[in-house]
Every structure is written in structure tokens, then in C-alpha cells.
A and B are shown apart, each in its own frame.
Chain A
Amino acid sequence: EDQVTQSPEALRLQEGESSSLNCSYTVSGLRGLFWYRQDPGKGPEFLFTLYSAGEEKEKERLKATLTKKESFLHITAPKPEDSATYLCAVRGGSNYKLTFGKGTLLTVNP
């Protein structure tokens, strides 16, 4: 059974204070690791897909990296508008189902 564990559950940063969110996973035959951003009361918004260890993707202040056991979402010089819950999900050998972690609630204070 595919499993995803995200840490920390919550993270509070000051504006400009860089940090990283972790997503540890167990999957049989990784077919993709996905990062989403979710604002309160809204649907998850797609950020990145990573397919193989060593792959990196960037978007504005966010950078996602992937190893064989975990992924990191690095946030550089965050702004208050980066405050959201960040979700990690994996697709394994079944090729249809996404297994989601519980998310990390990020709060960036001005």
C-alpha cells in the first residue's frame, strides 16, 4: 500500500525566512510525485510533478526536489501570500490512484 507522510504538520515563518517542507513516501513503482497548494475552503491547486530521483522543478519562490524516499518543497524568502496548506501525493504502479499526505499548513507572518 502506498503511503505518504508530510512534516511538519504546521510551520510558521517570518516573511523572508526560507525553509523546507518534507514529503516521505513509500510506493511500489513511482509513477509521479505531485505537489499541490490548497487555500482554505478551496480546491487543491497543482504546483509540480516529479518523476525520478534527482529531478527538480521551480516556480517563483518554490523549488521541489525528489529522492528515492522523499521530496522537499523549498520556499525561498516567503511572502504572506505563500500561506496555505501544501499537499504531497504519489502515484504508484496502479497508475490511476493518487495517495495524498495530510499536508503541511504554512503560515508566513509579515
Chain B
Amino acid sequence: DADVTQTPRNRITKTGKRIMLECSQTKGHDRMYWYRQDPGLGLQLIYYSFDVKDINKGEISDGYSVSRQAQAKFSLSLESAIPNQTALYFCATSDRNSGGGYNEQFFGPGTRLTVL
């Protein structure tokens, strides 16, 4: 079974609709992230969470919100979707290393979102 799962895997919606993307992990990691990927732009950080009570904005948080329901669950919401939010969305997790820093991030399979 996959360690990091995302639902849905594909979603087509219309401008103005509210959309929620969900991420679950079984790795036991404390830190979770949401990224979007656009062709030619690389991965951009939307939000990240250190733990259930610690949520932080990333580079491109405008138009997005998140909820950390539990250590293993991190949801991304688009309150009113717009066409330029059409992209691939990835959830990732990481763990703390022995030196107090953080190890590599592990990514989910992604959600392809199309906003018409």
C-alpha cells in the first residue's frame, strides 16, 4: 500500500466551485506539505504544517486554505476555483532527523485538477 495517498486523483470542476483535495499518510511523519506543479515552472510550495497546531503559508498560498485534521491527514481547499489554478497538486511528508533538521520529502501520486 502507498505510504502517501491523495484523493481524488483527477478532478474537473467549474470556475467558482469549492474544491477539497485530501492527503493521508501512513509514514508517521510529523511534517506535511502541499505543492502545485505547472509545466515549465517546477514545484511551488502552497502550505506546510509542522504538526496539527502549526500551519504555515508557502510561496503561493493566495486562493488556497488548508486543514490538518490529524497527524496523518492534511487537506487543501480552493474556496472559489479559478482557471489558473489548473495544475498538478502534490502532497508530501517528511520526518525530523537526529540533528533536529528534516529529512527528504516523500510525495504522493498527485491530483490533476482542471478548472473550466
Cβ contact within 8 Å between B104 and A43: no
Cβ contact within 8 Å between A100 and B107: no
**Is A14 part of the binding interface, using a Cβ–Cβ cutoff of 8 Å?**
no
Chain A residue with the shortest CB-CB distance to B100: A95
Cβ contact within 8 Å between A102 and B41: yes
Cβ contact within 8 Å between B90 and A44: yes
Cβ contact within 8 Å between A46 and B105: yes
List chain A residues, Cβ under 8 A from B104. 32, 34, 46, 49
Give the B-binding residues of A (Cβ under 8 A): 31-32, 34, 36, 41-46, 49, 87, 89, 91, 95-98, 100-103
21 chain-A/chain-B pairs, Cβ below 8 angstroms = A31-B101, A34-B105, A36-B107, A41-B88, A42-B109, A43-B92, A44-B107, A45-B107, A46-B104, A46-B105, A46-B106, A49-B103, A49-B104, A91-B101, A95-B102, A96-B102, A97-B58, A98-B45, A98-B105, A100-B42, A100-B43
